Structure 1
Amino acid sequence: MEPLERDFRRRLELAGFADEADYRAACLSEEERERLRQEEQELRTEQTELDARRRDKAAQLAAERRRNVTPLSREQVAASLATLRENARRQQEAIGGIRQKMEENRNLKEACAARAAAIAAQRREYGRWRTLHDLIGSESGKKYRNFVQALTFEIMIDHANRQLQGMSDRYLLIRNTADPLQLDVIDNYQAGEVRSTKNLSGGESFIVSLALALGLSQMASKTVRVDSLFLDEGFGTLDEEALDTALETLAGLQREGKLIGVISHVAALKERIGTQIRVTPVTGGRSVLHGPGCTGSGGR
């Protein structure tokens, strides 16, 4: 055993500790030592004040004794001294009470600080939930539905714009700023003017609708795919260039494996679409189907 360790153990025994663990258990924490240092400083300040007062009184008493003049008798002086001693005792009691109140005040301040921290944490949590409520919360669930619908709508617009760029560089679909579930169109041929879909011509509406339909067809989950697309009329509103663009887009989708069906009376489509099912009206309000997969006739 090293000399220092032996000396340490001897000092532990002299101090009344069984071993090092007993010594460490008796050690104060840093917070307790800081509290005791503060209390010691306060007591030293009070002691300094009391010493100053005691010295002042002692100086006054010595001066009076040197004067050796008083109108009081010895008995009266003794009574006065008793009174002063009683006052001093009461002052000591008052000092003790003040110290107790100061300790209670410190404890209350610590408790208030802890409560203030808890309140601040609750306010932060409340603010987080309040923000979430402002975004998607409502009693009926409408705000949340609109929030989810807006996200889905945004995804569909993104898909539709990709299809639209393949057909024309003129238009770009965006969400309406006032109503997030409504569409507006940026017209690049008119200096980026934002137009309502209600103001589109027939041909423009068809191009936009076709882009939306194609964008919707690309929105698939793990269990659902949209591989078939049927277009009912609308081609009659297109000029020759727009018609070529639309048919080229549909042909590209067909090459990707999608089934594209076009229902139209436009004669120009007959020359562009190879696989056709023709509907021929007959008497009695009935119609006959002719084309691949048609083995009979049906009426409507």
Structure 2
Amino acid sequence: SSRRTRDEKTAERNGLHAAVKSLEGTLKERERELAGTEEKLKAASERLAFAAGEAPDASLAKLKGGLASKESRRDELREKLGAVGKSLEKTESDLKRKLELAARKDELSARLKRAREICRMIRGDSLAAYALALHMEGILADASAELSYLTRGHYRLALSGGGENSAFELVDDWNGGARRPVESLSGGETFLASFALALALSRSIQIRKGAHIDCLFIDEGFGSLDSASLDLVFDALERKKGEKLIGIISHVPDLKERVPASIEVIPAAPGASSKVKMRLG
């Protein structure tokens, strides 16, 4: 399809160039014809001037008629020459515009293809996903190292395929580096993979913006985890808390026993104010 499109563009461009060449040839031909007519007109004028004092009235009238005919022909040629010139100018302008539009179309097509590849590669439309795609290689390497640390060397992240077929894969280092799709992860493992990507993305933003983020809040994601998955997640969070302050926003009651300090918002009856209860570890 792209080859056919290029061939069509080439044919159209060649056709326009041929039209310009044809008009240029017509223009030169009209210019030569006009020059010849003006020479004849000049000669006729000279003969008329010479005959004005010597020739009889009939000859003079004939010369005047011939002169008028040549003047008319000259004016006609000038008009045609002007029309050809305008046509040539318009054709050249159209050709230039078509070439500009073709170049712009190619540029936009390349950008659109890249955008589609990014969307397919990360399977997401959020701002975070877009930022991840822009710096995929570095962020993925950082997230893979984080996941390996969080899972005590069990898992790493990798990218399979290429272009439109790219997708995340999980590398199981406890199973000889076997690879499997991220869709096969358990709830706790999925949480840790997402957490590792979030850490890598936040670190990338810090580097680019020259900022430093000392705290990290995790909003939900715990409600779907069973007890074993919670143990896995909190083991990983314990290993990260020395690097930054980690806050958890959740409604899961079991988390109270695992988090040393908390701020609890207790809903009140309609029309009354909610209560805030603080617990320090």
User: Which band: TM-score by shorter chain?
Assistant: 0.3 to 0.5
Structure 2 length as normaliser, TM-score?
Answer: 0.45
User: Structure 1 length normalisation: TM-score?
Assistant: 0.43
Determine which structure has greater relative contact order: mean sequence separation of CA pairs < 8 Å that are 6+ residues apart, divided by chain length. 2
Give 1 or 2 for the bigger CA radius of gyration: 1
